[in-house]
Structure 1
Amino acid sequence: MRKAAAARRSALALVLALVVIGVGFGLRTAADAGSPPPSPAALLGPDYVDITTVPGGHADPDPVPGAATGTYTWDCGRNANGHRNTANVVVVPGMPGPPHHVHDYVGNLSTDVDSTVESLVGGDTTCANGDRSTYYWPVLRTLPDGHGEHPDPATPTTGQDTKAGAPVEHLGEIQLPVSFTLTFYGNPRTPVVPMPSLLRATMGDAVAITNGGARAQATWTCSDTPDRRTTRYPVCGPGQQIVRIFDFPSCWDGRRLDSADHRQHLVFPVAGGGCPVATFAVPRLRLVASYDLPPGTRYQIDAFGGQHNSPLTDHAFFVNLFPTSLMAQVVRCLNAGEVCDDKDATVR
């Protein structure tokens, strides 16, 4: 009897244990089923952000009476001719850069790895208005499956893709912008003066990760949400384009065409849009590149080693080679508060 009772108690305990396990499993399954799926940005990695989570409200400063409120827009194409190389004619003229840091170009067609600023004078151009300036920025790539994970910035990346013979973070197909616009703006506090020929300009910091980010100027958004701006790679909704905005400094010291760090001679406006003391407002250049990529696509810009292809390192350069008469027309348009384009002011 005692043996039979003990067996029944053991059997009952086993049944109860199985019931508890089953209920717990069922609860976990129900909880898991009710959990929202991870967002597309979370699946892509920490450098990506859903544009709908980015605060809006971006706006340029309101102008004062007498300020330069006009705009001038012109067409230099979108680099459909594939003008690309590793050069940086502003920072290291006459020298090629690292093979994993490729630039897209519009404007001056002579810009190459052996170019200097002076050698650009007289070069042919892609600009419809006769502007012979050079404009360049890092290419954007879509990444092969399984590549492009962005590691912890504290961890060095030395891995190689043995099949391709290149660091995995630098693989991927270069993407051509579906549109590229160039616009000069005035200044919300004062009139502007002409840019001198061969003035160099830098925006952003190609080594922002190791530099601490103080000079970073990366700006990303989506075509349907231009007031939502971020320093991360945006994940846009269906039918939207990924947009890169390059706003250049526009307060010139009135003396130099360049400086040791390629920044001190041409600086950004202060809060409110005015220029610092002892500087003069020149036309403010904005480049806008738009890309048509399916939602969920992993993409990144070319970057130097150790920067982990961070969106924070986005940057651009230009060298001014506007003909003097065309620059004068641009300044007149901006100071008069007019909306102009390359059909209003053209030099052949």
Structure 2
Amino acid sequence: MRRNTRRRPTGARRRTFAAVALILGGGGLVAANTYASAGEGASGGRVQDQSGGDQAATISCPDVGQQLTDVPGEARADVDKALADLDQQITEAYDRLTSTRQEQAQDGNFVRDSILGPLSEKRTEVIGQIKINVKRAGGTAPESLDGLAACTEISPAQAQKNDGGGDGGNQDGDADTATPGTGQDDGGQGGEQQDGNGNGAAGPFAADFVDITKVQPNVKAKPRKTGDASTGAFSVQCGVNENKVFNTDNLIVAPGVDNGAHHTHDYVGNQGVDAFASNDDLANAETSCSEQGDKSSYYWPVLRVQDGTQEFDAEQQGGGLEGNVGKILQAKEAEITYVGSPTGKVVAMPKFLRIITGDAKAFTNGTANANANWSCTGFEDKVQLADKYPICPQGSSVVRSFAFQSCWDGQNIDSANHRAHVAFADAEGNCGNGFKAIPQLTMRLVYDVPAPVIKNGQVRNPYAVDGFPEQLHKPITDHDDFINVMDEDLMDEVVDCVNAGRQCGAGAGEQPQEPQEPQKPEEPKQPEQPQEPQKPQKPEEPKEPEEPKEPQDKPAPQEPQDEPDPGPEASSADDKDGAKKPGAAPDTPSEPSAAPSDVATSTREAEAPDDARDGETKARATSPAETSDTAVEAQSEAAQPQSQAGTGSLASTGADLWPAAAGGVLVLGGLVLLIHTRRRNMTTN
């Protein structure tokens, strides 16, 4: 038998082999983890934008609809649908903009050649069709339409200008509005902020928020009332959308178009409003108003907290697919009041009169039609913000207020651009151009909003108004919509009340300008998740990081998992089934849906009446440049002491780097074992 002469490994050899194996294995772990981290970046799998200001934050396109002041009635339906097509094209282009960051970083001409160029060609075709429709109906399209096809990009630095990209002035002649703060101390993130709010680069950003206690008073005095002034007020109570009636239509701007708004609306009053409702449908619908003769539709974009909540519309057009993400907040108060004119008597509104106040595209259109007013309870008579979201002190709530146009042309219930038939009074309260004063609709929405946290130029768990995706959720894009469906007897009652100087309607006998006492901190109540009972599908369970939840008596914003960049898909009528069905009228307004903002800095409570919602003139001002974002950061952090584990936190960093750490330990162990073996061999020899 042949003898096996192969040498068996000695103890020293075995130790040497083990040391080499440890070194190789540990080195492999380190290399693999480094490669994976470089590929993922800070956005959980998405390619992180590293080019800073070289890339576009959003797209700005001329608003074709605003130029169409005279369209024959026979052509309006076709023109409205064409304008909706233009909005859809912008939405699709914005989706491509946000999903091609890597290509943009590699090719400086990518946005121009692959996004803006094709978009301009599509717009040229649609604008041409609009001109044909107008001409066929016997009208003449403005020559300026030919120059409205081309769109431009807005850089991250430009995106910090919260008052919008245009140069228009305020519609009511309020020309001395303060210069908006630019928020340049936000670390240069601008429109390219990548955070854990679930909204990628779609905003809002740190520069969109301001500590209201740091803003100088800016509310102007109202016009003096003459002896002929109509000083009364008529209030209606229509609830706060307890019925959960939501949809993404806009019956005024885009009738007959599914998802014409590209964002979700709250509805109170008329319960049968959708894109396909006729005037007869509105007249026969149910109402949530206590005055059953008021079937008017009052609707506005919802307010959300970007806390990672997966709402019922998280996977739908107008919702999460178009950048409108997070928990929908229900207003705890919705005050609707009709007031008079400071210079004379008012006349009745015609039935089915449509009015839009504010501009959903004010960031790219400019401020000509903007009418956003943000404040906090206790500050409304002193500070009104147009281009900032307020961070309110402890015990104070966020307030959105609207004063609608109060002058009517005396003939039309709508116009081609949905604005020309109504106007604001001038600085003295007079209606010009032969327009007539009508009861001015004023609205005041109050929300308990968890305070956002601002740190290192980024904002965590911000709140924002729903909007078109390319508008970056700027506060200046806030707006409100109204269709008058009061019966004639009730409208006559409103006019008589206002002209006689009485206080009438819901809460009669009370001063509508002073409906609230100074706010005190309330015991937080369990928030309700807004769900849409009319929807056939069940709301999805929130997908949140595996972090211990805060006690339920105070909703604590948690950092959500990164979501894919929102992008539009083909609209589906099935998404809206049930959303358009009337809901039962509410019995009483619901409790607040979120805890009050908890900010460390205390402030004085105001006893003065709330002039901002009297409404004879719009009290609009932007935040002054001396606002301290450093103070906001310190204040907000004090308000949110809970852990912010998630993207970019120590917890996630440790989870991402543990393979590299383990690999390092193995390498060190192998080296120690190898050195020890060599020394032992030298001693033996």
What TM-score do the two structures reach when normalised by structure 2? 0.40
CA contact (8 A) 2:331 2:446 kept: yes
SS of alignment partner, residue 331 of structure 1: helix
Q: Which runs of 5+ in 1 are unaligned?
A: 1-38, 147-159
CA contact (8 A) 1:54 1:229 kept: no
CA contact (8 A) 2:402 2:442 kept: yes
Residue 328 of structure 2 corresponds to residue 174 of structure 1: yes
CA distance in 1, matches of 2:279, 2:288: 17
Residue 471 of structure 2 corresponds to residue 307 of structure 1: yes
CA contact (8 A) 2:249 2:262 kept: no
**Bigger mean CA offset, 98-107 vs 280-289:** 98-107
CA contact (8 A) 1:54 1:230 kept: no
Structure number, greater radius of gyration: 2
Residue 356 of structure 2 corresponds to residue 202 of structure 1: yes
Residues 229-268 of structure 1: CA deviation (Å, up to 9, x unaligned): 0011111000111000011101000011100111110111
Specify the alignment match of 1:341 in structure 2: 505
Amino acid at match of 2:344: T
Specify the alignment match of 1:125 in structure 2: 287
Specify the alignment match of 1:141 in structure 2: 304
CA contact (8 A) 1:106 1:134 kept: yes
- Equivalences for residues 92-111 of structure 1 within 5 A: 92-97=254-259, 100-111=262-273
Structure with the higher fraction of residues in strand conformation: 1
Specify the alignment match of 1:230 in structure 2: 385
CA contact (8 A) 1:139 1:175 kept: yes
SS of alignment partner, residue 334 of structure 1: helix
State the identity %: 40
Specify the alignment match of 2:215 in structure 1: 54
**Bigger mean CA offset, 212-221 vs 165-174:** 165-174
CA distance in 2, matches of 1:93, 1:167: 22
SS of alignment partner, residue 141 of structure 1: strand
Specify the alignment match of 1:63 in structure 2: 225
Residue 239 of structure 2 corresponds to residue 239 of structure 1: no
CA contact (8 A) 2:229 2:343 kept: yes
Amino acid at match of 2:418: H
Residue 365 of structure 2 corresponds to residue 211 of structure 1: yes
Amino acid at match of 2:291: N
TM superposition shift of 1:116 = 3.3
The 1:229/1:90 distance shift into structure 2, 3 A limit, reads: same
Residue 422 of structure 2 corresponds to residue 259 of structure 1: no
TM superposition shift of 1:145 = 6.2
Amino acid at match of 2:269: G
CA distance in 2, matches of 1:107, 1:121: 12
The 1:55/1:199 distance shift into structure 2, 3 A limit, reads: same
CA contact (8 A) 1:106 1:126 kept: yes
TM superposition shift of 1:99 = 8.0
Specify the alignment match of 1:12 in structure 2: none
CA distance in 2, matches of 1:139, 1:257: 26
Aligned length: 290
TM superposition shift of 1:100 = 4.9
Residues 256-314 of structure 1: CA deviation (Å, up to 9, x unaligned): 11001111101111112111130000000011111011333510011102100111100
The 1:239/1:187 distance shift into structure 2, 3 A limit, reads: same
CA contact (8 A) 1:109 1:125 kept: yes
CA distance in 1, matches of 2:380, 2:237: 21
CA distance in 2, matches of 1:197, 1:172: 37
**Bigger mean CA offset, 261-270 vs 95-104:** 95-104
CA contact (8 A) 1:89 1:117 kept: no
Residues 11-54 of structure 1: CA deviation (Å, up to 9, x unaligned): xxxxxxxxxxxxxxxxxxxxxxxxxxxx9x97960111111233
**Bigger mean CA offset, 169-178 vs 101-110:** 169-178
CA distance in 2, matches of 1:84, 1:98: 13
CA distance in 2, matches of 1:308, 1:97: 18
SS of alignment partner, residue 69 of structure 1: coil
CA contact (8 A) 1:204 1:217 kept: yes
CA distance in 1, matches of 2:478, 2:280: 26
CA distance in 1, matches of 2:392, 2:409: 39
Q: Which runs of 5+ in 2 are unaligned?
A: 1-182, 188-204, 453-460, 509-685
Structure with the higher fraction of residues in helix conformation: 2
CA contact (8 A) 2:249 2:261 kept: no
Amino acid at match of 2:414: D
TM superposition shift of 1:340 = 1.2
Name which of 68, 72, 77 aligns with 2:239: 77
SS of alignment partner, residue 121 of structure 1: helix
CA distance in 2, matches of 1:68, 1:77: 27
TM superposition shift of 1:166 = 4.1
SS of alignment partner, residue 243 of structure 1: strand
Name which of 421, 426, 437 aligns with 1:281: 437
CA contact (8 A) 2:324 2:469 kept: no
SS of alignment partner, residue 343 of structure 2: coil
CA distance in 2, matches of 1:118, 1:141: 33
Specify the alignment match of 1:189 in structure 2: 343
CA contact (8 A) 2:322 2:469 kept: no
Amino acid at match of 2:384: R
SS of alignment partner, residue 332 of structure 1: helix
CA distance in 2, matches of 1:76, 1:62: 31
**Bigger mean CA offset, 96-105 vs 180-189:** 96-105
Amino acid at match of 2:305: T
The 1:117/1:311 distance shift into structure 2, 3 A limit, reads: farther
The 1:203/1:93 distance shift into structure 2, 3 A limit, reads: same
TM superposition shift of 1:60 = 2.9
The 1:235/1:114 distance shift into structure 2, 3 A limit, reads: same
**Bigger mean CA offset, 295-304 vs 202-211:** 295-304
CA contact (8 A) 1:42 1:48 kept: no
Specify the alignment match of 1:89 in structure 2: 251
CA contact (8 A) 1:253 1:265 kept: yes
RMSD: 2.5
